[in-house]
């Protein structure tokens, strides 16, 4: 796993060695960042369910104005800190539950959501973000989940673009 583009292109990132966390494959991450490549520079970004910090650090590398990396797993927080070593940028690591973080009512231009596939956390987060107007105008939510999950996103004035990459589905949600 590595940073794909930007200032820190090619930097290797450490991965988890636990069964409950699965890293996003580089080819899927490349596809995700191709979808949002023009939305990152100067953006405020929230990497919810941050895990290794790969999404958030990729955003830092690509010129995000500010990145919040959120996870409630102590092992994940340690790994994010290790992966962020020697990366200079305006980012902060939050060791807290995703819903507690969202309830702080911080608005972002871009939310990156890669929650555990077996849980309903991603849909709960999307619902909270949209209903509480946490997505800035012309903002984007990227939601990664299993292609086997039947995801229904029906919100007024919200556009949903679904892409499938093997066993992974990626939703680009824009307002």
Q: Where are the domains of the chain?
A: 26-174
| pLDDT score for 66 | 98
Instruction: Phi first, then psi: give them for residue 35, nearest 5 degrees.
Output: -65, -30
Taking every pair of Cα atoms in the chain, the longest distance, rounded to a whole number of angstroms, is 42
Q: Measure the CA–CA gap between 30 and 24, rounded to whole angstroms.
A: 10
Q: Measure the CA–CA gap between 49 and 166, rounded to whole angstroms.
A: 22
Q: Assess whether pLDDT exceeds 80 at residue 26.
A: no
| pLDDT score for 18 | 59
Q: Assess whether pLDDT exceeds 80 at residue 12.
A: yes
What is the rounded average pLDDT for all residues in the chain? Answer: 92
pTM of the full structure:
0.93
Q: How confident is the model at residue 25 (pLDDT cuts 50, 70, 90)?
A: low
Q: Assess whether pLDDT exceeds 70 at residue 20.
A: no
Instruction: Taking the CA atoms of 27, 113, 173 and 55 in sequence, report the sign of the dihedral they define.
Output: negative
Q: What is the pLDDT of residues 74-123, one digit of tens each?
A: 999 999 999 999 999 999 999 999 999 999 999 999 999 999 888 899 99
| pLDDT score for 112 | 97
CATH label, 26-174, candidates 3.30.1360.70, 3.40.50.300, 1.20.1050.10, 3.40.50.150: 3.40.50.150
Average pLDDT over residues 15-28: 66
Query: Residue 165's beta-bridge partner residues?
Result: 168
Q: Assess whether pLDDT exceeds 90 at residue 19.
A: no
């Amino acid at each position: 796993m590595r940073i794909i583009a930007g200032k820190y292109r090619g930097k290797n990132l450490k991965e988890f060695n636990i069964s409950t966390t699965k890293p996003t494959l580089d080819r899927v991450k490349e596809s995700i960042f191709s979808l949002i490549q023009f939305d990152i520079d100067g953006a405020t970004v929230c990497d919810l369910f941050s895990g290794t910090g790969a999404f958030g650090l990729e955003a830092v590398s690509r010129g995000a104005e500010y990145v919040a990396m959120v996870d409630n797993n102590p092992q994940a927080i340690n790994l994010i800190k290790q992966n962020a070593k020697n990366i200079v940028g305006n980012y902060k690591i939050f060791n807290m539950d995703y819903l507690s973080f969202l309830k702080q009512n911080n608005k972002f231009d871009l939310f990156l959501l890669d929650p555990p596939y077996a849980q309903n956390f991603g849909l709960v987060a999307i619902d909270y973000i949209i209903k509480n107007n946490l997505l800035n105008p012309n903002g984007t939510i990227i939601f990664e989940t299993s292609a086997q999950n039947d995801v229904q996103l029906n919100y007024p004035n919200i556009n949903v673009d679904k892409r499938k990459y093997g066993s992974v589905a990626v939703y680009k949600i824009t307002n």
